[in-house]
Amino acid sequence: MSVTDSAAEKRDRVIIFDTTMRDGEQSPGASMSLEEKLELAKILEEMKVDVIEAGFPIASNGDFEAVRQISEIVTESVVCGLARAGQADIERCGEAIKKAKRGRIHTFISTSPVHMKWKLQMEPEQVLEMVTRSVSHARNWTDDVEWSAEDATRTERDFLLRCVEAAIKAGATTINLPDTVGYSYPSEYADLFRDVIANVPGADGVIFSTHCHNDLGLAVANSIAGVQGGARQIECAVNGIGERAGNAALEEIVMALKVRGDKLPFETGVDTQHITRASRYVSAITGFPVQFNKAIVGKNAFAHESGIHQDGMLKNAETYEIMKPEDVGQIESNLVMGKHSGRHAFREKLKELGYELGQNALNEAFQRFKDLADKKKHVFDDDIVALVDDALASG
Ligand code: KIV
Ligand code: ZN
């Protein structure tokens, strides 16, 4: 057996659970039409996302219809609907996923002191009872039931252990420990999973899941840390959209696991070449632009302007790129011509535009290019053609 074989054997599968249409749609202003959701579900399925959380059926007739219709057209991915712990929520969700080839009910209740006291106005023992009741009820509709302890990272540990144990006993097959308010540190989040998995009877028979919000910009780091602590499902959203500062970004999670497989022996089933298409589609239908410097899918994620970087890239792309743009569905790296560009990149750009200049003409054209780049933010191909033609005419 070769070294690669043994490394491959050790790789563990991480389930990718996409919540773009549920938590993602909870971003103020990000609502999507039924047609857009159906199209997005097809894209996610083609991308080989394992679980698609298609909506919150009791929230509106539109959400119910989206989950119901997505359940009818998706055959490969699991289709999931969200439900609070009450019977009406669970029944509405059960109805919506009824036709799914593989349907999941995701039910949740808050477990932290602040949520129980102020939001639920319930005593911990009442919450515990609701955990058992909600999960058992959901099992009447499907044998794929996920239970979430909302605000798990601010929950008292002993109480969390009791709730998780009750959910498992009642038949939950996935246990999600959300960092609902994006409060955790990565090492803390990893320890949470280690502790719960080591101390709850039956924990070895279920899948543990992360669900991280980005209030401190730590959602992706926390999700990866959760996997290091024993989680095998990550909940995330395309472009990181979601409540407040958003959810962990699907594209960042998937590529972090792919690129650093040497460090973390985990892999996803996602076909990464669909990532850019999914990102652009979500941006178009929500109207949320993707920031230029956004990891993986930003316009500048594979763009290089400085002369030193462009020179390195022209010699070997590995000098400044840790993944190939083609791997995420982008056509190619982009050497942006600007005031930081050097002679090497300029010469390559001229070749691309069909010019082979002698040394003197090249020097003259390069000087003109630098003068122009000092005055102009973007130097386009047409600008370069014009200045070279000018230099040639006057030389
Ligand atoms: O952030 C959260 O806790 C949630 C739950 C409903 C899973 O979105
Ligand atoms: Zn959330």
Contacts 24+ apart (CB under 8 A), 184-187: 184/153, 184/212, 184/218, 184/222, 185/218, 185/222, 186/218, 186/221, 186/222, 186/224, 186/225, 187/225
Ligand 1 nearest atom to the CA of residue 178, by list position: 3
Instruction: Identify the residue whose C-alpha is closest to ligand 1 atom 2.
Output: 180
Best mutation site among 21, 89, 150, 235 for ligand 1 pocket (most ligand atoms within 8 Å of CB): 150
Atom 8 (ligand 1) nearest CA: 23
Q: How many A from CA of 180 to the centre of ligand 1?
A: 6
DSSP-H helix ranges across the chain:
3-10, 34-46, 61-73, 87-97, 113-114, 124-139, 157-170, 186-199, 219-228, 250-259, 275-286, 307-315, 343-352, 359-375, 381-394
Q: Verify whether ligand 1 is closer than 6 Å to residue 50 (CB atom).
A: no
- pTM score, whole prediction: 0.93
Give pLDDT tens digits along the chain (395 positions): 334 445 455 568 999 999 999 999 999 999 999 999 999 999 999 999 999 999 999 999 999 999 999 999 999 999 999 999 999 999 999 999 999 999 999 999 999 999 999 999 999 999 999 999 999 999 999 999 999 999 999 999 999 999 999 999 999 999 999 999 999 999 999 999 999 999 999 999 999 999 999 999 999 999 999 999 999 999 999 999 999 999 999 999 999 999 999 999 999 999 999 999 999 999 999 999 999 999 999 999 999 989 999 999 999 999 999 999 999 998 778 899 999 999 999 999 999 999 989 999 999 999 999 999 999 888 999 999 999 998 888 76
Pick the atom of ligand 1 nearest to 26's CA.
Answer: 8
Structure tokens given for 161: 């252990």
ipTM for the predicted complex comes to 0.99
211 is in an annotated binding site: yes
The answer to whether 246 and 183 are in contact (CB under 8 A) is no
